[in-house]
């Protein structure tokens, strides 16, 4: 999930060891057969969901001038553990994800809790612009996300003074998600942000990329994008958003708190316990070939959020 030194990468080093072993146990038993039976699909990765186009978008003020990755890099090599722990599993099996009908419940410490239909969220998105952003996981990519600022939705529900954090709950569809049969994580997947992080204009809800609707494996129909944090903070297929007073326990914190903290900011000066984070691999390169930038290059927009904080302790 994070960044490896510039040498050959072993799967057991990218994935926490306990999860790696459980994955191999899963495959060694009935996992592969179950995946094949559930998917009813071939092995060719799905690059686009249905080709539906989204028009009328331009660059935002936060867009980078870096060249975007090819869509095959972004949609063919994905972390979405609900569909399997190998990077090529989600492109194969995510076609089973049921995306219609879809609603997002917003509740908790808000004055006007409500449920948003996907059509309403798409209308909000149509008023916004492409965000061409750098994103980092065990690799890095430049992705032309299409979305709208999360604060736009938040302002509609009016968070109260008790809202200190925001929880994002992702979909749980056991019949369609073969990966949730294995207790790799505590399902459903839950992520969280501090309220000021969530309200920052860089934090977006996205329903498209590359001028098309999101492919299932990339988090259709609506996902979170937090570009200055490691990729696992950007939850896919959001179904519920809760404004809460206490810091939520997120999925990766519960699974491995020594390696995955609540903040998970991109920081080259804080090594992962098992590897350096000073460099990153920009797909499709095989080796780490870029120096990691603090906050993934967005220091001007977000550094003030962490004034006075110990970023080594609050990793």
pLDDT in tens, 74-126: 999 999 999 999 999 999 999 999 999 999 999 999 999 999 999 999 999 88
CATH tag for 11-306 (out of 3.30.300.130, 3.90.420.10, 1.10.260.40, 2.160.10.10): 3.90.420.10
Residue 25: pLDDT above 80? no
Q: Could you give the percent of the chain with pLDDT greater than 90?
A: 66
Residue 41: pLDDT above 90? no
Residue 49: pLDDT above 70? no
Residue 245: pLDDT above 70? yes
**DSSP letter at 184?**
T
Q: Which comes out higher in pLDDT, residue 52 or 301?
A: 301
Alpha carbon distances (Å) from 209 to 79, 146, 157, 190, 266: 17, 5, 26, 23, 22
Is the bond into 192 cis (omega within 30 degrees of 0)?
no
According to DSSP, the residues that pair with 244 across neighbouring strands are 165
CA 18 to chain centroid, in Å, comes to 22
C-alpha torsion sign, points 77, 82, 85, 90: negative
The predicted pLDDT at position 137 comes to 62
Which DSSP helix (H) or strand (E) runs through 108? strand 103-108
Question: Once rounded to an integer, what is the mean pLDDT over residues 240-261?
Answer: 96
The mean predicted confidence, pLDDT, of the chain is 84
The predicted pLDDT at position 138 comes to 57
- What is the pLDDT confidence band of residue 287, given thresholds at 50, 70 and 90? confident
- What is the pLDDT confidence band of residue 151, given thresholds at 50, 70 and 90? very high
According to DSSP, the residues that pair with 115 across neighbouring strands are 105
Phi and psi at residue 89, in whole multiples of 5°?
A: -70, -50
The predicted pLDDT at position 52 comes to 84
Which DSSP helix (H) or strand (E) runs through 145? strand 140-149
CA distance 299 to 260: 21
- What is the pLDDT confidence band of residue 165, given thresholds at 50, 70 and 90? very high
């Amino acid at each position: 999930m994070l960044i490896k030194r510039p040498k050959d990468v072993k799967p057991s080093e990218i994935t926490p060891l306990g999860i790696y072993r459980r994955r191999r146990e899963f495959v060694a038993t009935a996992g592969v057969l179950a995946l094949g039976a559930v998917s009813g699909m071939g092995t060719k990765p799905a690059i686009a969901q249905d080709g539906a186009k989204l028009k009328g978008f331009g660059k935002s003020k936060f867009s980078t001038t870096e060249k975007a990755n090819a869509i095959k890099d972004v949609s063919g090599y994905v972390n979405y553990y609900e569909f399997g722990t190998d990077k090529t599993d989600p492109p194969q099996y995510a076609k089973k994800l049921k995306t219609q009908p879809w609603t997002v419940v917003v509740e908790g410490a808000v004055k006007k809790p409500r449920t948003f239909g996907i059509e309403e969220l798409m209308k909000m998105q149509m008023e916004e612009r492409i965000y061409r952003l750098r994103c980092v996981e065990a690799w890095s990519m430049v992705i032309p996300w299409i979305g709208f600022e999360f604060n736009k939705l938040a302002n509609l529900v009016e968070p109260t003074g008790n809202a200190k954090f925001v929880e994002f709950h992702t979909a749980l569809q056991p019949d369609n998600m073969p990966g949730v049969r294995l207790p790799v994580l505590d399902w459903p997947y839950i992520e969280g942000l501090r309220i000021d992080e969530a309200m920052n204009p860089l934090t977006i809800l996205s329903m498209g990329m590359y001028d098309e609707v999101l492919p299932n494996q990339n988090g259709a129909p609506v996902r979170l994008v937090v570009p200055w944090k490691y990729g696992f903070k950007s939850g896919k297929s959001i179904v519920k958003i809760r404004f809460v007073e206490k810091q939520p326990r997120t999925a990766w914190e519960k699974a491995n708190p020594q390696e995955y903290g609540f903040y998970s900011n991109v920081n080259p000066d804080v090594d992962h316990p098992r590897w350096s984070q000073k460099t990153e691999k920009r797909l499709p390169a095989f080796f780490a070939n870029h120096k990691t930038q603090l906050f993934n290059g967005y220091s001007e927009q977000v550094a003030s959020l962490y004034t006075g904080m110990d970023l080594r302790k609050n990793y």
